[in-house]
Amino acid sequence: MHQISARWVEAGAKVTWFTGHQPGQSAEDFLDGIRILRSGGTLGVYAQAARKLLQTGSLYDAVVDCQNGIPFFSPAFLPRRIPVVQLIHHVHQEQFRSRFSAPMAAVGRFLENTGAKAVYGQRAIAAVSPSTRLELRKLGFRGPVHVVPNGTIEVPQTVGPRDPEPTIAVVSRLVRHKRMDLLLGQLAVAARSIPRLRLEVMGDGPERARLQQLATDLGLDDTVTFHGYQPNAQRNALLSRAWVTASTSAAEGWGCSVIEAAAWGVPCMALRVPGIRDSVVEGRTGWLVDTAREFGPALVTALETMANPNKAREISAQCQQWARCFTWDRSAELLAGVVLEEELRLQGAEEAASSDMATLIRFPAPVAADLSSVVRPTDEIAENNGEVSLLMKGKDEFEAFALLKRVGVLNVQLRPAGRSMLLAGPGSAFAAEAG
């Protein structure tokens, strides 16, 4: 939200955050032109947000409701005319079960599921990945769910040189659902086949002591280094020298650390789970397996592949090309489009997206027709080398062709937009090469 809000401010919007108050923080602050209001603790912030919305909510043109398991239920405290967009990284139903007592977990599941559906109704949702959208659909959310992927770090021009020894670098919070213990177990398997194998772990958390003891028990003291929290420069230096990164997480909304590693040309070896299966393009920017038992042998194969300099350069280039698709400028534009489309829907000028399908349409430039009557605020359009690429959301190929025919655009190529295309956008070189 910082990256997106700063860009909205730069574009002329007035942005106010309402968030929790921690010891030592002021009640009001400014950051990059963003007004920040703080009140309430971890749970008290919800009641304080409701009070603030009742008092001043009608002064705002739109509300982005960042839902982290427990919604703010902002539509209950705002006039109906104000657009509300939920921003959701991932669904927490399973995490509630693993982290809280049975009664508290049941409350959390109810609030995120039944409670949210009752209060938000057909209000728009911005999900950071197709996996998160799918999980929301499984819970029964029937309103428009738009995919707005996160941006990432700036992709460096040069990477490496890689360490001479096979090196895995992992950036992660050390918490239970990341399942670093599974990675350590499979690392012990891989170490039997890969001499001088090393794992560099950056990050901290409540699981660190247990994981360090497990590494000792597995005989990995000389293989694994726990670096703890690291500043960006040190993190980048370790990533730049790595051969691969790895993920054994149970599920994610989106693999931020996977894309950050890709920016440094580092592919990912991972389990095929929600979120991670979106951030890894199998066979191009990494490898996915279905079970933990397959992970160790697949990790060996991945490291052997990266030992080939020519193959390593090819994969590294594809990783960086993929990472370049995810810019904060694009994220800010996409989320602004969701807000605008929700505003138009409430005014009756726009219908909600009827499906989660998306179609990529390509046709020669320049375009004499006026596309404004058929392109929605959440659609994306780009022009490259005399060709227009239009990613039309919520429409299948027949619907997209009918709309373009209505404005006189007939010479078109259409195909369904898959997961990678939806995430990369129509203007990316990666998407163009995907065909």
CA-based torsion, 119, 122, 124, 125: positive or negative: positive
Architecture of domain 353-434: 2-Layer Sandwich (3.30)
Residue 307 is predicted with a pLDDT of 95
**262 within 8 A of 319, measured Cβ to Cβ:** yes
Residue 432 is predicted with a pLDDT of 56
- How far apart are the two ends of the chain, measured CA to CA in Å? 32
H/E element, 321: helix 309-323
Structure tokens at 323: 């990472």
Residue with tokens 């942005």: 15
Q: Do domains 2-147 and 353-434 have the same CATH topology?
A: no
CA-based torsion, 171, 177, 181, 185: positive or negative: negative
How many C-beta neighbours within 10 Å does residue 76 have? 14
CATH for 2-147 is: 3.40.50.2000
Question: What φ, ψ does residue 206 adopt, rounded to 5°?
Answer: -65, -20
pLDDT below 70 — which residues of the chain?
354, 430-435
DSSP E strand stretches across 72-202: 84-88, 125-127, 145-147, 167-171, 198-202
Residue 369 is predicted with a pLDDT of 81
Residue with tokens 């990678």: 420
Residue with tokens 């655009």: 409
Architecture of domain 167-323: 3-Layer(aba) Sandwich (3.40)
How many C-beta neighbours within 10 Å does residue 195 have? 8
H helices of 160-207, where? 180-191
Average pLDDT, the chain: 92
Alpha-carbon gap, residue 167 to 312, rounded angstroms: 13
Alpha-carbon gap, residue 23 to 264, rounded angstroms: 36
For residue 412, the SS3 value is: coil
Residue with tokens 């179609």: 359
pLDDT tens-digit map of 270-311: 999 999 999 999 999 999 999 999 999 999 999 999 999 999
Structure tokens at 303: 């490291």
Nearest by Cα to 241 from 164, 302, 154: 164
Write the CB contacts of 76 (distance below 8 Å, at least 6 apart in sequence).
50, 119
DSSP E strand stretches across 112-194: 125-127, 145-147, 167-171
Residue 435 is predicted with a pLDDT of 43
**258 within 8 A of 276, measured Cβ to Cβ:** yes
pTM of the entire structure?
0.92
Q: How far, in Å, are 38, 204, 208, 259, 302 from residue 175 at the CA level? A: 27, 8, 8, 20, 26
Ordered by start, the domain boundaries in the chain are 2-147, 167-323, 353-434
Chain-centroid distance, C-alpha 125: 14
